Each structure stands twice: as C-alpha cells, then as structure tokens.
Structure 1
Amino acid sequence: MSRFYSPSAFVFYGLFAFLIVATLLARWLIARGKVRGDTARNLMDRIWAWWVMIGLLALIFTLGATAITVFFALCSFAALREFATVTHTRRADHGALALAFYVILPLQYLLVWLNLPIFAALLIPVYCFLLLPVVTVFRGEVAGFLTRVSETQWGLMVCVYCVSHIPAILSLQIPGYRYSSFTLVAWLVLVVQASDVLQYVWGKSIGRHLLAPRVSPSKTVEGLAGGMLSASLLGMALAPITPFAWWQAGLVALAVTAMGFLGGLIMSAIKRDRGVKDWGTLVQGHGGILDRLDSLVFSAPVFLHILAWGWL
C-alpha cells in the first residue's frame, strides 16, 4: 500500500484538517473579541508554527523508520541542549555533558534503531545513572555536586530516554494488527498534540478557574477538561486504525493526554524555577523544541508500555 494511502497518511490528512478548523476557530475568536492583543498574536503564531511542524513530520514519515529515528535523535539533541542551558553546570561537568551529547544520546537511538529493547530500556536509567556521576566526581568539584549530577541525569531521562520511546514504538509487532506501527506513532502524536491545542482553545474560550497559577498561569480546569475529553473523542473516532476497541481507544487517549498535561506542567515548573518563559527560540510562536516535546515526553513511554503490556 502506498504510504500516501496508508492509515498513518490519513492521520496526517486529519491533522491538516484539524489545523484548518483550528485556524478558522482562532480567527472567529479574534473577530468576536474573545481573544485580543498579545494573546491573539500568540494563538495565531502557535497555529502557524503547527502548520510548519506537522508538514515537517508528514515529510519525515514518508521517508521511513530510519528517518523517523534520526529525526527524533536530532530533536533529543536540541532538547538536551536547551535543558543544559538552564542547569547549574561548572567546568567539572563538561566531561559528563560531552558523554551525554556525543556518546549516550547516539548510543540510545542506535539501540532503538537496532531493536534491542532491553539494552535501550536499561542504558540511561541504570548504567548512566550509576556511571555518569563517576566522570564528574573525579574532577574533584564537590560544591553543588548532587544538584549538578541530578540535573544532567534528569536531562538525559527527559530529553533522550523518554523521547526515544517515540521511534521505539515503530519496532512493535502487534499480533493481528493489520496496519504498520507508523500508524500508532501518528495516532499518539495526533491525540496528544490535539489535546495541547484544544486545552489552549477551550481555556481561552470558557476558562474561568486557574489550575496551577504559580506554575502555568494560562492553564484552567475548563481548558484541561475540554481539551482532554475532546482529544479522547478524537482518539475514539480513530479506533479503527488502532488495535483498540472504541472504548479502549478512549481510555488510552485519556491516559496519554493526562500524562501529556502532567509533562507540560512539570516542564513549566522547571522553567519557572529557572526564570525563563520558554526553553528556546527555535520554533517561532512555540519557544524551543522542548516546549513542543514536553507533553510527548511523558505520554510516549506510557503509550509504549500500554501497548507492550496489553497487546503484545
């Protein structure tokens, strides 16, 4: 089957249709005065940035599993760089950071590409957790040692280990599932990112009660509920292209959107702690790469584990 007529291709067609609706809805909200000033500009910047990013993802998906793995490895590199810029690093940490960027990160994605799940699952949370501090401790700088080492390990877990679960989904062979695992990755990206956008739209439309004002002033209870439920309904509508029954698709979508929300909230808390608004400036209207991956960072591992425990 041509990739242009595969289920994953139609997921991207659905994404573009969703963006058309989001663009029209945003313009309607602005025209009605529901969204004004900087908020209106921010909303349109976000939507136009999504057009670019979804177009890029669609292109990557047409190139196959290797291209997808390389793409997310590059995303991990950019995200880890953004994370490292806000950490309390010293000269003594440069060796550990060099290993993280130029040895551990490519090795993690190589293990994923070679379909060695046991090694990919253990490399960072076990061996790097135990051995990476050794590189730093022999430099003799003990001031802030625990904080500095923990930040490097956190960066690897969030930016490399968790993100690598996205291409790792491509290696799953689900018995009786008639479509390729590309479709599962596309479903995950669509549902989680749709939840992100819909939480923003619902929050700006009907949001009244702030959820965590000291962490993320724009998140509301109404936005969270509307976004998660809308994205879960979308996941249910797409159940025929997954191995899930319609009700299972709804529950899985609810789980990954909940984890996506928590990922965004936790990464926002880190930004507030470090006094930065965005992780970077790479993506106009969206900040940095990590600003776009924050929800997938938490949802991708949970999605892969759900598939592994329930459908393999």
Structure 2
Amino acid sequence: MSRFHSPSAFVFYGLFAFLIVATILAYALIRKGKVGGETAANLTDRIWAWWVMIGVLALVFTLGATAMTIFFALCSMAALREFATITHTGRADHDALAIAFYVVLPLQYLLIWLNVPIFAALLIPVYCFLLLPVVTVFKGEVAGFLTRVSETQWGLMICVYCVSHIPAILQLDIPGYRYSSFTLVAWLILVVQASDVLQYVWGKSLGRHKLAPRVSPSKTVEGLAGGMLSASVLGMALAGITPFAWWQAGLVALVVTTFGFFGGLIMSAIKRDRGVKDWGTLVQGHGGILDRLDSLVFSAPVFLHLLAWGWL
C-alpha cells in the first residue's frame, strides 16, 4: 500500500484539515477583536508551531523507517541537551556527558535501526548505569557525586532510552496485522497528544479541583478525566487501523494516556525543582523538545511492551 494511501497518511490528512479549521477560526477571532494582545500572539504562535511540527512528522513518515530513526535520534540529542542545561553537572562530568551524547545516543539508535532489541534494551539501563559513573569517579570530584551521576543517568533514560522506543515500534512484525507499523506510531502519537490537548480543554471548561497544585497548577481532576476518556474514545474510533478490537483499543489508549499523564507530571516536577518554566525555546509557543515529548517519553515504552506481550 502506498504511503500516501496508508492509514497513517489519512491520520495526517485529518490533522491538516483540523489545523486549517483552527487557523481560520483563530484568524476570525483575532480579526473580530474577540482575542487580542498577548493572547492573540500566543494563539498564533501555537497554531503555526503545530503546522511545523505536524508537517515535519508527516515528511518523516513519508521518508520511511531510517528517516524516522534519525529524526528521533536528533530529538533525543536536543532533549538531552535541554536536560543537561538544568542539571548540577560540572567540569568533572564533561567526559561522561560527552560519552552520553556522542557514543551512547548514536549507538542506542543504531541498535534500534539494526533491530538488535536485546542490546538496545540493556545498553542504557544496565551498561551505562554501571560504567558511566566509573568515568566520573576517576575525576576525583566527590562533592555531589550521587546527584551528578543520577542526573546524567536520568537524562539518558528519559531523553534517549524512552524516546528510542518510538522508532523501535517500527521493528515489530505483528502476525495478521495488515498495515505497516508506521500506523501504530501514528496512532500512539495522535492518542497521547490528543489526551494532552483535551486535558487542557476540559480543564479550562470544567476544571474545579486541582490535581497537583504545587507541581502543575493548571492540571485538574476534571481535565485529567475528560482528556483521558476523550482520547480513549478516539483510540476506540481508530481501532480499525490497529491490531486491537475496539474495546482493546480503548483499554490500550487508557493505559498509554495514563502513563503520558505521569510523564508530564514528573517532568513538570523536575522543572519546578530546577526553577524553569519550559525545557527550552526551540518550539515557539510550546517550549522545548522535552515539553513536546514529555507524555510520549513515558507512554512509548509501555505501548511497545503491550504490543510485544499481547500481539506478537
């Protein structure tokens, strides 16, 4: 089946249609004076950022598995850079960070591309966990050693290991599944990102009870419930492009959106601990790469494991 006529392609056609409507509505609201000033500028920035992000993703999906692996490797590099800028690392940690950026990161994605799942699963949580601190300890700087080493390890786990599970989904060969694994990646990204957006919409509309006010003041119980349930309904509606029955699609969507919420909450806690609002400014109106990937960071490994355990 041509990539331009695949289910994942039609997902992007739907997203572009939605963006066209959103752009027209935003322009009309601004023109009529319903939205103005800083709010109008922020709305415009966010919509155009979505145009760019979805456009880039659509191009990557069109170019194939190698392009997608390289794309997420670059995302991991940008995310790891964002993470490293707010840590307590110093001169004694530079060698370990250099190894993380220029050896571990490309090797992790090379293992994914070569489809060596055992080594890809063990490289960071086992070998880097054991050996990277050795590089640091020989520098002789013991002040804050545990904190510095832990932050490097956390950075690799979040920004490289977890993100690499997204292109790893492309290596799955599910018996009887008639579509390519690109469709599964599109389904995951759509459901998880829809949950984020819908949590915001439901929270603004009906939110009354703060969920974790010291961590993320904007998150509410009503927003979380409405967003996750709405995204689960979306997942069920798209069950036909997955190997799931409609009820299985709903349950899988509920699981991945739950872990996506956990990811967003934990990344918010890290930002508050370090005193920053966003991870970066790379995506205008949306913060940094990690601000866009925080939900996928936690949901992608779980989604891959559900597919591997239940459908292979």
State the TM-score bracket (shorter-chain normalisation): over 0.9
State the Cα deviation string for residues 200-252 of structure 1 (Å, max 9, x = none). Answer: 12212222222111111111112111111111111111000000000000010
- In the TM superposition, residue 263 of structure 1 has moved relative to its aligned partner by 0.4
Residue 271 of structure 1 is matched in structure 2 by: 271
| % same residue | 88
The alpha carbon displacement at 1:17 in A equals 3.2
Q: Within 1, Cα distance between the matches of 2:100 and 2:237? A: 41
User: Equivalent residue for 2:5?
Assistant: 5
Moved more, 294-303 or 33-42: 33-42
Change (3 A) 1:33 1:301: farther
> Is the contact between residue 192 and residue 257 of structure 1 (CA under 8 Å) also seen in structure 2?
yes
State the alpha-carbon separation in 2 of the partners of residues 242 and 130 from structure 1: 38
Q: 1:171, 1:258 → 2: CA distance?
A: 24
User: Which residue does 1:244 correspond to in 2?
Assistant: 244
Q: What is the identity, as a one-letter code, of the residue corresponding to 2:245?
A: A
Shift in CA distance, 187/70, structure 1 to aligned 2, threshold 3 Å = same
Q: Report what 1:306 is aligned to.
A: 306
Query: What amino acid is aligned across from residue 239 of structure 1 in structure 2?
Result: A
For 2:291, what is the secondary structure of its paired residue?
helix
Worse overlay, 213-222 or 43-52 = 43-52
TM-score in terms of structure 2 length: 0.95
Gaps of 5+ in 2: none
Per-residue CA deviations over 1:152-173 (Å, capped at 9, x if unaligned) read: 0000000000000000000000
Residue in structure 2 matched with residue 161 of structure 1 by the alignment: 161
Unmatched tracts of structure 1, length 5 or more? none
Q: Are the structure 2 counterparts of residues 75 and 100 from structure 1 closer, same or farther at C-alpha, using a change threshold of 3 Å?
A: same
CA distance in 1, matches of 2:291, 2:120: 24
Task: Tell me if structure 2 keeps the 8 A contact 1:34–1:205.
Answer: no
Quote the residue 2:116 is aligned against. 116
Letter matched to residue 145 of structure 1? F
SS in 2 for 1:140: coil
Rate the CA distance shift 1:169–1:101 in 2: closer, same or farther, 3 A: same
The yes-or-no answer on 1:231 pairing with 2:231 is: yes
Whether 1:75 and 2:75 are equivalent positions in the alignment is yes
Distance 1:39 1:196 in 2: 20
> Counterpart in 1 of 2:60?
60
- Count residues in correspondence: 312
**Cα root mean square deviation, aligned:** 2.0
Change (3 A) 1:177 1:67: same
Q: Does 1:219 align with 2:202?
A: no
Residues 1:274 and 1:128: Cα distance change in structure 2 (over 3 Å)? same
Change (3 A) 1:40 1:197: farther
Shift of 1:31: 10
1:175-207: CA deviations, max 9, x gaps?
000000000000001110111111112212222
**CA separation in 2, counterparts of 1:240 and 1:36?**
42
C-alpha separation between the residues in 2 aligned to 1:219 and 1:33?
Answer: 29
- Aligned residue for 2:219, secondary structure, equals strand
Summarize the alignment of residues 125-274 of structure 1 with structure 2, pairs less than 5 Å apart: 125-274=125-274
